[in-house]
Amino acid sequence: MDRTVHSFDWLQRWYTEQCDGDWEHSWGIEIGPLDNPGWTVAIDLEETSLEDRDYSAESVRRSETDWIFTRVQERRFEASCGPGNLTEVVTMFRVWAEGS
């Protein structure tokens, strides 16, 4: 992983690479808030090189506000996390996607 590239910049590039005039009309990336508080992330893997790659669900709970849950279900990377863990979730997706 090239640590000089911020994970959100990497995610933007990954998304752009998937866009082929068709993919982006059916699939994409969703980032939204949770009310406890926190974030949800959903990244469609359908019709990407990641759609059939194995992923082991991860669950981390450091405190009431510092936590992460990730999984791949139905060709979709799904995550929920605490309010300060969004970059960490995107980085976890990146590490998995790059195969590191």
Distant-in-sequence, close-in-space partners of 81: CB < 8 Å, separation ≥ 6: 38, 39, 41, 67, 68, 69, 88, 89
- Model's pTM, two decimal places? 0.92
Looking up tokens 């936590």, which residue turns up?
67
- The larger pLDDT score, comparing residue 100 to residue 5, is at 5
CA 94, 9, 24 angle in degrees (round to 5)? 80
Digit-coded pLDDT (tens) for 41-87: 999 999 999 999 999 999 999 999 999 999 999 999 999 999 999 99
Contact between 81 and 88 (Cβ < 8 Å)? yes
